[in-house]
Structures are given as structure tokens and as C-alpha cells.
Chains A and B, each alone.
Chain A
Amino acid sequence: MAKQVRQLDRVIIRFAGDSGDGMQLTGDRFTQESAAFGNDLVTLPNFPAEIRAPQGTIPGVSSFQVHFADHDILTAGDSPDVLVAMNPAALKANLGDLNKGAAIIVDTHDFTARNLTKAGYAENPLEDDSLAEFDLHKVDLTGMTVEAVKEFGLSRKDAARAKNMFALGLLSWMYGRPTETTVEFLSKKFAKVPDIRDANITAFKMGWNFGETTETFIVQYEVKPAAMPPGVYRNISGNLALAYGLVAASVQSGLPVFLGSYPITPASDILHELSKHKSFGVTTFQAEDEIAGVGAAIGASFAGHLGVTTTSGPGIALKGEAIGLAVMTELPLLVVNVQRGGPSTGLPTKTEQSDLLQAMFGRNGEAPVPIVAPQSPGDCFNAAVEAARIAITYRTPVMLLSDGYLANGSEPWSIPDVADLPVIEPNFATADDLAEGEEFAPYKRDEATLARPWAIPGTPGLEHRIGGLEKGAGHGNISYDPANHDLMVRTRQAKVDAIADSLPPLEVDDPSGAAKVLVIGWGSTYGPIGAGIRRVRKAGYHVAQVHLRHLNPFPKDLGDILARYDKVLVPEMNLGQLSLLLRGKYLVDAIGYNQVRGLPLKAAELAGVIGDLVSEAEGIEVDLTPVPQEASK
């Protein structure tokens, strides 16, 4: 039977199943195939905190969404065009996100009475007309997989486990994905268990063949490669990019990385990754607790290494006192917070950006800490290098605020040229810096940066004591003098403020220059904000965007930029933390758009909010239907 081929500019697929069904792997392979094909893409893994939540239940559903396109895209997409549901719970948990007409591919094998009950279905949705408004494909994925891999003599359970590869094969056919990388991957992954390797490869190929021959699917889709700027690309997740950024910061500064860390979701993968890079002189220390992790990193920083600690919000809460010690002792330290839903244990596997105020103020005393935030998975690399630059140059702890979405999400990354990376000078102090007869003053400051000398143990003639007690300006001995304390508190603040002198001007994206509404964000909302803005612009309206990498200190031109616009919108995955800071510092009437659902903001919703503001600011009716060319309405 002749198949049709239909062109699409972008597709969003969500693979959903039980947490043991291998949906993350399936999604990851589809992503790699799409990356190899040359599409732009963004992914959104979403999984439960439990390793194996009760099988077949809604809390046990794990999903992986991939958005791929023939053009540059910014988000993982609001609503899937295709849902692959491996069981009733996966269908029920994800159905609400689908628009009318979306395709649903279900594994009929798992729609048993028992599984339907577990998912809370009174009737089998495949047998009534409750899914009538969708393009439903009922396929016995498990049954066909078991049949296809019979020859390998696996147990029924092991045979059935290859069903995710059957599904991947089917979807790979449907979207014309290249299959070589997946076959290669499976050969390597299961090299030690040939039966399982062969079963998975066979299931994958049979899935493809099924698509090609069955009458269930008559349309094959084509999403052409995206026109991307020239360069070498790879697909990369935020945690991997961040780990690479730390290695790069080590190479560029000549300081070995010392990571002190305690495992915590969603930051642990940075520890895992860095533990592989001992050949770069990286030491990874899995500490007994969060406090020991940062403590050991501070000890290593004192010793002249690049001390790093990685964690998530609950860990930062525990490390607070030690970060204050690094503020007081003015030692370089990188504190990475891969934010997750809070408070307390909160939503360990879901994303949120609700630790900004914790990063700003979560210590006793006046304890300013510079804050740097990446805006996309690949950007975690540059953000890590920048955080290290600030920490080393200014002798200060720096908070690097990633989040769960950046950590686990991925995108094509244009691999930088190492020659273009900044060189970071540690400038250790030596006795040669002293004039004849001059005594070493550990709190004497550089005039431009206000940084103090970093004199590491082993340096003759510079023996000194630091600590958490207030130190006298210059000489660094304990001082309880009121005027000295006032001076030191102000100096520590001035040092952090001085970092702004080293920052480039903000990039304001305001193509027409006619916008009255500015949307300002930070961190992982970059994608959804950008996508929302595109929708508004496509409908012919003006809106400007600024995205902050530096949250403390703010760039020097931020105040002027904010003052140029009638309305300032601040979308955040919290209840308005950046808004509070902007209001406090610039007396601007920042308008919040706040969602704390554990998921990235939705571009369509944002577009609506921006549209409403444009309407208000310009006194016009706003209709977000795209117009052929970007003519002002």
C-alpha cells in the first residue's frame, strides 16, 4: 500500500509509560536520532521521585517529551502532537495535555481490567468513544515484540521489556529518523548480554517494519533539518554541560577542581560526571553530608584548588553557615544549586526557580553572594565558566542557579572553541609582593576588584590565620571594633557590587524599538519567554525581552532599561522573587507572571499574558492570530 509523506515544520512527541518501561531511554534515543538528522530540538524528561513507584499507577508514570523542528525552537512545547502511552495510567496522566486531533498510540496489551482499575478507569477508554476527538492508534506493542524476539529464548518478562524499542522503531519510521546510531547504541549498551542486545535490536527493527507495512499508519511525516549556525554540534543536558564547564574553568585557571558533594536529586549527575574526569586533576569527594561537602570544598579552596559544591535547595539550606564562612574568609567557592520544587523535600524531580531569594539572602548577617544563572541546557557550560571567573577573580563564593528542567532537559549545543574561552588568573600571593620589611596583610585589597590576596599554605612568609570572626581591615586579625565592622560589612558588599564593572551591557531584544512592554526573566524560563514573545510578534505586536545571567549584582544598565518601558513583565516559576528584587532596587512596578507547577512555563499562556499587557500599554485590541508578515496591527 502506498504511504503518503506529509511535511511538517515541527512535532512534539511524548513517550509515556510506567517508570520501569524505559521511557527515558526511548526518548533519549529518539532525541539523538533527531539531533543526528539535523533538527533543532528541546527535550523535557518528567519522572517520579520514586525509583519504581507502584506499577501501573498514575504516580508511577514516567514521560519524555521531545520537540523537534526544521527551524530554531526554544521550548519542549506546550502540548504534544503525538502521545505514546504504554499503559492506561500513562494515557490518563497525559491526556489532559493533548489538543483535539492529537495522535495517540497505545499499547493495547497493557489495557487489562487490572491495569484499568489501577489507573482509575471504570470503562476501557479504547472501547468507548471517550477518545473520539483524537487520532487513536491501537497497537499490541508488547504482543508483537514478544513474537518478534521469540528466537532469542528470553523469558516472557525480558522479551516484553524490549517493547520500548519496538515503539521507538515505529516512531522512527513515522518521522523518518536515521536508525544507525540507535543500533550502534544498543550494540554497545548490551554488549555483555548478546540475547538481550539482539532482542532489542530486533524489536527496534520490527517496529520500523511494522510502520512500513501496516495499514494502521498510512502517513509518514517529514521534518526537514533546521538551518543552524555553522559549527560542530552535540546534544547536551544541563548537568553534563555544567560539569564540562567546571572542567573548562579548571583548565582555563590552572586550578584543579575539588568537588565536595552529597548526592541529591537533581544535582547528582554532576558528581557522577566529574568523578570520571580525574585525568584533569578533578577530585570528587562524596561527603557524609551537605555541610561536609561544602566544608571540604572550602578547605580545598584555602589550599589553592577550585572548591566546588553541588546540591539542590535543601542542601543549600544546610550549607548556609559554611557559605557565610566563605563570604567572611573571602575564598573562591562555587556553590551549584540545581533547583527543584520546594519547600522542604518538595518535588525532588520537578523543576522550580524558587531559591533565588535563598541565594540572595539565605545566610545570617550581611553576606552578599554573587549569583549566576544559565538560561538553557547548553548555556550551563558558559555559566559555570563565568561563575568560576567571578569566584576566582573576586575571592568570593558564587551561587550558580540551575534547575531541574535545565539539568535533565537537552538541546543541540554548538561546541565552543577552547581557544575562545576566557583565561582566568588565580594570581596567588607570594612574599615577592611585599615591600622590604612589609608584613603580609591578608585583608589588604586590590583597588579595582576589592579582592584580597589569596595566599595558600606552603607559601613562605605569608603565614596567616583566617576565620569566621570579624577581621580587621588590612591586617586581618580579629577585630571587635564597631567602626571596623561597619567598614568590613560595607566593603564586602562593595566588592560584590564591583563585579558589575566587569559585566557586558545587557542585550535588549527589541527589534522594532517600538515596544512598550518589556519581558524580563532569568534562568530556564528563557525558552518559554522567547517562544511566547515570538507568538506575540508573529501576530504583529511589539514586545521587548531581556534575560538576566547575573542576578547579583545586577548589570549596571538594568535600571535604565527598565525605566524605558511602560510595562515590565517578570515571568517566573516562583511567586515573584525576581519581581521583589527589581521592585526593591529600581522602584519599578514589575508585574509578575508566576506558575509553580513543577513544569516549565507554557509559551501559549505567556503569549496571552504578554498580549494582554500590550493591549493595556498601547490601548489597542490584541488578537494573537499570526499575520503573514510582521506588520504592526
Chain B
Amino acid sequence: MSTVELPFPGLQGVPTTDEKQTGKDFTSDQEVRWCPGCGDYAVLKAVQNFLPELSIKRENVVFISGIGCSSRFPYYLDTYGMHSIHGRAPSIATGLATAREDLSVFVVTGDGDALSIGGNHLIHALRRNVNMTILLFNNRIYGLTKGQYSPTSETGKVTKSTPMGSLDHPFNPVSLALGAEGSFVARTIDSDRKHLTSVLSAAAAHRGTSFVEIYQNCPIFNDGAFDAIKNPDTKADAIIPLVHGEPITFGARDETTGLGDKALVRAASGGVEVVPIASVAADQVLVHDAHNPDPSTAFAISRLTDSGYLNQSPIGIFRQVERPAYDDQARDQIRLASQAATTPATERLAGLINGGDTWTVV
């Protein structure tokens, strides 16, 4: 999916290596301790195998996570890493990425970590556009605390803490990220290794904050939450694939045109809507433009996500636009201010503290 050549803009400043690296080089000696069947395994494998493709030095890769099942992720990668505190990974990653241009920074978080306790840091990282890649593992449940509803659980969900059904209206993570003016916003699925890898690659290529929501199944506390989009019988009608520059269609594929039997068109309301492709002229079908500076259409598409049983969900890169990255600009200010500072630091320090109105006592 990515057409960007190496080295990626997102990795500029990160030292590269000619050495052949494999997934094994990125695998730590720690035993992986997720439940059998957890979607996290698939994502871990995909990440371990995708990292060598970047051709960057392993010691310059840092994974920062918060708290939750997915946040154990850094322990299983043989890179630098920090398993931090609940919800705060984006803030720690912001300091790290701003301090060091030569690091490739990833944040691993979950729906509770990123959208509940850490919601504030997520939206501010996105608006600042700090150069990092945020992987949000969305299993729509609290796993590590054993099964309470999460901010992406459907309304009415019966859990340990909501015996009569949850009352909360769920977040749509992609809508939230677009609302925060994220410059790269995508969604992918744990079980689709090929799509997952291509999105990760595009996310790493992007300079600024890349936000990737990964639908991830929790077989213990929320099994089947993504059945509609995973079941071979239903997934063609459930997944709305987004590919930049291509008409957005889904459903049963026409062998000759390659288009689905359902299409997205502009709605009279100003948003977008799904119609049978046969009911509209070909030029009325919406062509996906991830590079559109105006996020309105991407937002409208994100609203097609059915947040109940997930009967329907757009998958792919919703938005990918260029916007100055906070950390680049912060370092530029320091470089600019430092240009005139040619004398040794100790001399300049003496000048600083001797500034202002001074007097001498002899």
C-alpha cells in the first residue's frame, strides 16, 4: 500500500543499517504471556517481522506502552522500551521523541489506556503531531482487570460492572483521532497480516503522529466482537476497504470491474451514505482521497462504523496529510537559538548569571 521509498520521512534522522535483520533480531528472550488465542500474538508477530523492513538500527527503536494487556508488548521486543503507567504513554513518548531526533518511537496502547484514562494525552499528541506511531489495540473490553466494559464497548453491554447493561455511548477511535486533527489516521485488523503490515509500513513512513486502530479480538472477555468483519461469509459486506485514489465500494465483488455491489456516495445531508452501486452513475461513487487537507469526508466515512455488533466498518488509511511535526519544530527553535552561541557553554552561563543590574563590592 505504501508507495513511499526508504528511508521514510517518518524515519529521517534515524540511523540506518545495511545489516540484514530478521524478526528474530527484534524478539526478546521473554516468554510471551497473553491468553491463548489473543489477537495480540498476531500483532506482535506482524510488528517483529515488519521492523526489519525499515532497515533502521535496532537500538534506535523505542516502544513505549501504558497499562493493559497490550501494553506488555515492549517486553517482547528486543529494542529499547518502557512499560509505563496507565494512559500516559503518549506523554512519555512526546518527551522522548522531542528530545531525540534519531529515535523511531512507537506507542502501544489499548482502548481503555488510550481512550479512557489517557484520552487527554492521546488527543494532544495528535494535535501537536509529534513524530511517533501510536498502535491502539481495540478489543472493546477491559481484559487485564477481567472484563469490565470499555469506552469502545457497545451501549447496553452486560459485563461484571454493568449487570443491567452499560449506559455509556462508545467512542469511535477513528472519529476521535480525526476530530483531534490527526495527520495520519488508519484502521486495520489483527487477523489480516497483510493489511496490518501495509498500514504499519505507511504509518512508519509518515512524519508526525500516526494513529493506527487495530481491531483485536479478546477470546476470554469479548470473544466474537469482530465476527462480522472476520467471518468469511459476512466480511465482504462488513468491511469497507479504503484505498487512496480508488472508488469506495464493498459487498459482493464484480469479477470484471473489481467493484463491490455497494458504493459510497455523497449524501444530501453533506455526509456520505451507502447505496447499491447499480443505483448510481460510476462518477458518483466517492473516490477515496486520504490526502485531502479537509478532514470532513474522512470523518463522514468514519461515521459509517457501526459501533454495535460492528456489522460494518471502514478499514484502511482514512487520512494521511503533511503537517509540521511538533518535535521537528521544537528542535528547529533550539537550533536557531543556538546558532549565535559559539562561545563555550560555561562562558555563556557566566554571561547569563551576570546579566541584569549588577554591582561590585570590593
Interface residues of A (CB under 8 A from B): 32, 35-36, 38, 181, 228-236, 244, 247-248, 251, 256, 258, 260, 277-283, 285, 287-289, 291-293, 295-305, 307, 321-322, 324-325, 329, 381, 415-419, 457-469, 477-478
The reply to whether the CB of B195 lies closer than 8 angstroms to some CB of chain A is: no
Q: Is B149 an interface residue (CB 8 A)?
A: no
Can you sample 24 A-B contacts with CB below 8 Å? A36-B357, A230-B362, A231-B360, A233-B361, A251-B349, A280-B348, A281-B334, A288-B120, A288-B124, A292-B88, A293-B91, A295-B88, A295-B95, A296-B94, A298-B84, A299-B93, A299-B97, A299-B99, A300-B98, A329-B82, A458-B60, A463-B79, A468-B83, A468-B84
Distance of A287 Cα from B361 Cα, bound (Å): 43
A283 touches B361 (CB 8 A): no
Contact (A299, B359) CB under 8 Å given A258-B98, A415-B353, A463-B79: no
A299 to B84, CA, bound (A): 10
**Nearest CB of chain B from residue A494's CB, rounded to whole Å:** 24
Q: A288-B124, A295-B88, A478-B75 are in contact. Are A38 and B359 (CB under 8 A)?
A: yes
Q: Which chain B residues border A464 with CB–CB below 8 Å?
A: 80-81
| Residues A292 and B94 in contact, CB atoms below 8 Å apart | yes
Contacts of A321 in B (CB 8 A): 85-86
A36 to chain B, nearest CB (A): 6
The minimal Cβ–Cβ distance linking A438 to chain B, given in whole angstroms, is 15
1/0 per position for B328-362, CB-CB distance to A under 8 A?
00100110111011000111111011111111111
At the interface, yes or no: B57 with Cβ under 8 Å from chain A? Answer: yes
Report chain A residues within 8 Å CB of B93. 299
Interface contact A234-B354, CB-CB below 8 Å: yes
B51 → chain A closest CB, angstroms: 12
Q: Which residues of A contact B28 (CB under 8 A)?
A: 465
In the complex, the answer to whether B357 meets A465 with C-beta atoms within 8 Å is: no
Task: Report Cα–Cα, A477/B29, bound state, in Å.
Answer: 10
- A563–B103 Cα distance when bound, in Å, is 54
With A291-B91, A295-B95, A457-B80 given, name 14 new contacts (CB 8 A).
A35-B359, A233-B358, A235-B356, A260-B95, A279-B348, A282-B334, A283-B98, A288-B124, A291-B121, A304-B99, A322-B85, A457-B103, A463-B79, A468-B85
Centre residue among A236, A256, A465 by max chain B CB count within 10 A: A465
A residues less than 8 Å from B83 (CB atoms): 465-469
Q: Which residue of A lies closest to B67 (CB)?
A: A468
Contacts of A457 in B (CB 8 A): 59-62, 80, 96, 100, 103
Question: Which of chain A's residues has its CB closest to B335's CB?
Answer: A278
CA–CA, A467 and B84, complex, Å: 5
Q: Which of B34-58 contact A (CB under 8 A)?
A: 57-58
- Chain B CB count within 10 A is highest, among A233, A300, A459, A477, for A300
Q: What A residues does B60 contact at CB under 8 A?
A: 457-458
A279 B82 Cβ-Cβ under 8 A: no
**Does A234 contact B358, Cβ atoms closer than 8 Å?**
yes
* Contact assessment for B359 and A232 in the assembled complex, using a CB-CB cutoff below 8 Å: yes
Asked if B102 lies at the interface with its beta carbon under 8 angstroms from chain A, I say yes
Residue B92 lies at the interface, judged by CB distance under 8 Å to chain A? yes
Report if A289-B120 is in contact (Cβ < 8 Å); known contacts: A278-B337, A299-B93, A302-B96: yes
How far is it, in angstroms, between the C-alpha of A232 and the C-alpha of B86 when the chains are bound? 50
Rounded to whole Å, the gap between the CB of A466 and the closest CB of chain B is: 5
**Inter-subunit contact B59/A466 (CB<8 Å):** no
| B353 engages A416 (CB within 8 Å) | yes
Please measure, in the bound complex, the distance between the C-alpha atom of A467 and the C-alpha atom of B263, giving whole angstroms: 47
Q: Are A233 and B59 in contact (CB under 8 A)?
A: no
Inter-subunit contact B82/A466 (CB<8 Å): yes
A322 surroundings in chain B (CB, below 8 A): 85, 88
Q: Which of B67, B120, B345, B362 is within 8 Å of A280, CB to CB?
A: B345
Which residues on B sit within 8 Å (CB–CB) of A305? 99
Contact B121 A283 (CB under 8 A): no
Q: How far is the CB of B52 from chain A (nearest CB, A)?
A: 15
Q: Once the chains bind, are A325 and B100 in contact (CB under 8 Å)?
A: no
CB distance from A326 to the nearest CB of B (A): 10
Which residues from chain B contact A298 at a C-beta distance below 8 Å? 84, 92, 95
Q: Whole-angstrom distance from the CB of A628 to the nearest CB of chain B?
A: 29
Closest B residue, CB atoms, query A284: B330
Residues of A with C-beta under 8 A to B62: 302, 457
Closest residue of chain B to A303 (Cβ to Cβ) is: B99
Determine if B174 is an interface residue (Cβ-Cβ < 8 Å).
Answer: no
Cβ B340 vs Cβ A299 within 8 A? no
A279 touches B340 (CB 8 A): yes
Q: Which of A244, A278, A417 contacts B352 (CB 8 A)?
A: A244
